Amino acid sequence: MNAPLTVVELARASHTGLVRGHNEDRFMATPPLIAVADGMGGAQAGEVAAATAVERLEALGGEVDAGALRGAVEDANRRIRAMAEANPAQAGMGTTLTAALIRDGHADLVHVGDSRAYLLRGGELRRLTEDHSLVAELVRRGELAPDEAERHPNRNVITRALGAEATIEVDQIGLDLQDGDVLLLCTDGLSAYVPEDEVRDIVATAPRLQQAADALVARANRAGGIDNTTVVLVRLGRVDPAALAATQAVPAVEATQPLPAQPPAGPGEERPRAAERAIRTVRVPASPRPAPPARVLERVDGRRSRRGPIAVGVAAALLLLAGGVVWIGSRTYFVEAAPDGTVRVSHGFPWSPAGVDLFEPWQGTGVAAADVRAADPGVLDRSARGQGEAVELAARLVWRFGVPDIEPLPAPASTEAVPRA
Ligand code: MN
């Protein structure tokens, strides 16, 4: 058959999961462009970032080439940063983006973050993208074995995201496609919780791609439904375009609307939400977290007086001063021993003048402070750090000393990567 190689089947699924309150993933499933984006940031800023990235790709329309696609990614990065600067509630927001332009038997992929693209060809599943994540970086440096990375408690700390830096480094991957190829884009809600051989089996055996998409999401939810899960799949084939139009093998899909969430947990079921949300906030190492320590503001409010304009002026000045303090404090992180004897990352000022705490705990690690002190007395010295540096140090401590109630990781015997068994 002489028909051109084209997308002959399309499927997508996006689900909130069983733990989070809402879905911060966005996707696009309108060939020639498909994409997934996994947003991060508090107060629903994550979904704003993810939607901004996807909407920017949608604006490209049908006439697009690899250069325009890359330009759109860079533009989306600028837009997300501009929005975050203009709106304090959105400061620090970011998103992954993995997109593929499929045209003329060729795929051009752009990729930032830890969402993934896979190719299923001849029953083999091949990962096309490299995760921009802390654990993937440790694996590349030979400091962590791949199977350790898969169960690492900080495996969702990412090192690149749209919105994190003024200039974004975008991976570009080109791929010649073949008849029967299936491309899968997914967020880490799938890849971090479902083993790749199961992903391969589900996609390879499903009679229709939409069944595969639904089964992948169901599988992620059976693994706990910890995160939002989004998948987009396309199959390539050679079909006479006229016949294709007649059979409508490619369903029309709304590009950005997530599918309706399945019913939430029943009234008697507890949603284990808090722990995972805490990890979520760690995900943009490079940008400051804006949330001001509420206690500082409360203290200033307490001094506000109604006795007259001078008192109001003094209160306003104090508020302004506190605002400056909060602003500086919001950019300062440190790693310290918490009163309960574990290591945590705190946020604000590392010292407590006259016994007043000007910081708030931000991220617990579960690592015993005594273990860390015994091995390395200087680590928990409350040195001020950037957010990314504090997160990386905390992640290294977790990796080195383990977390009893998660799963202890062995300390590395050497700097060589341990080969898979
Ligand atoms: Mn995710």
> Nearest Cα to 280, choosing from 47, 120, 1?
47
CA distance 182 to 281: 33
CA distance 175 to 162: 23
Distance 371 CA to ligand 1 centre (A): 31
Distance 25 CA to ligand 1 centre (A): 7
Tell whether the torsion through CA atoms of 409, 411, 412 and 413 is positive or negative: negative
Pair 208, 251: CB distance under 8 Å = no
> Nearest Cα to 100, choosing from 37, 173, 30, 34?
34
Distance 34 CA to ligand 1 centre (A): 18
Question: What is the per-residue pLDDT for 401?
Answer: 67
Q: Which residue has the tokens 């997109």?
A: 99
CA distance 189 to 96: 12
Phi-psi region for residue 286, left (φ > 0), alpha (ψ -120 to 50) or beta?
Answer: alpha
CA distance 162 to 73: 8
Question: What is the per-residue pLDDT for 405?
Answer: 39
Distance 38 CA to ligand 1 centre (A): 5
Distance 36 CA to ligand 1 centre (A): 11
Distance 214 CA to ligand 1 centre (A): 17
Question: What is the per-residue pLDDT for 416?
Answer: 38
pLDDT, one tens digit per residue, over 170-212 is 999 999 999 999 999 999 999 999 999 999 999 999 999 999 9
Calculate the alpha carbon distances from 330 to 45, 285, 347 in Å. Answer: 17, 14, 6
Distance 21 CA to ligand 1 centre (A): 13
Q: Mind listing the pLDDT tens digit of every residue in the chain (421 residues)? A: 568 899 999 999 999 999 999 999 999 999 999 999 999 987 789 999 999 999 999 999 878 999 999 999 999 999 999 999 999 999 989 999 999 999 999 999 999 999 999 999 999 999 999 999 989 989 999 988 988 888 788 877 899 999 999 999 999 999 999 999 999 999 999 999 999 999 999 999 999 999 999 999 999 999 999 999 999 999 999 977 666 555 444 443 433 444 444 444 444 444 333 223 222 323 333 333 333 332 222 222 223 334 556 777 777 788 777 777 666 666 677 788 888 888 887 777 777 766 667 776 766 677 788 888 887 777 887 777 766 667 667 766 665 666 543 333 444 343 333 344 3
Question: What is the per-residue pLDDT for 400?
Answer: 65
SS (H, E, C) the chain: CCCCEEEEEEEEEEECCCCCCCCCEEEEEECCEEEEEEEECCCCHHHHHHHHHHHHHHCCCCCCCHHHHHHHHHHHHHHHHHHHHHCHHHCCCEECEEEEEEECCEEEEEEECCCEEEEEECCEEEECCCCCEHHHHHHHCCCCCHHHHHCCCCCCCECCCECCCCCCCCEEEEEECCCCCEEEEECHHHHCCCCHHHHHHHHHHCCCHHHHHHHHHHHHHHCCCCCCEEEEEEEEEECCHHHHHHHCCCCCCCCCCCCCCCCCCCCCCCCCCHHHHHHHHHHCCCCCCCCCCHHHHHHHHHHCCCCCHHHHHHHHHHHHHHHHHHHHHCCCEEEEECCCCEEEEEEECCCCHHHCCCEEEEEEEEEEHHHHHHHCCCCCCCCCECHHHHHHHHHHHHHHHCCCCCCCCCCCCCCCCCCCC
Question: What is the per-residue pLDDT for 49?
Answer: 97
Question: What is the per-residue pLDDT for 242?
Answer: 67
Distance 123 CA to ligand 1 centre (A): 26
Distance 226 CA to ligand 1 centre (A): 9
Distance 386 CA to ligand 1 centre (A): 23
CA distance 191 to 130: 12
CA distance 210 to 230: 13
Distance 95 CA to ligand 1 centre (A): 10
Distance 341 CA to ligand 1 centre (A): 30
Distance 189 CA to ligand 1 centre (A): 5
Tokens of 266: 């029943």
Distance 212 CA to ligand 1 centre (A): 19
Question: What is the per-residue pLDDT for 80?
Answer: 97
Question: What is the per-residue pLDDT for 12?
Answer: 97
Question: What is the per-residue pLDDT for 395?
Answer: 64
CA distance 17 to 307: 53
User: What phi, psi does 394 have (nearest 5°)?
Assistant: -60, -45
CA distance 191 to 115: 8
Distance 187 CA to ligand 1 centre (A): 6
Distance 314 CA to ligand 1 centre (A): 46
Give the Cβ contact number of residue 48 at 10 Å. Answer: 23
pLDDT, one tens digit per residue, over 292-321 is 332 222 222 223 334 556 777 777 788 777
CA distance 350 to 286: 19
Distance 260 CA to ligand 1 centre (A): 17
Distance 263 CA to ligand 1 centre (A): 20
Residue 110 CB partners (closer than 8 Å, separation 6+):
69, 70, 73, 97, 98, 99, 170, 171, 172
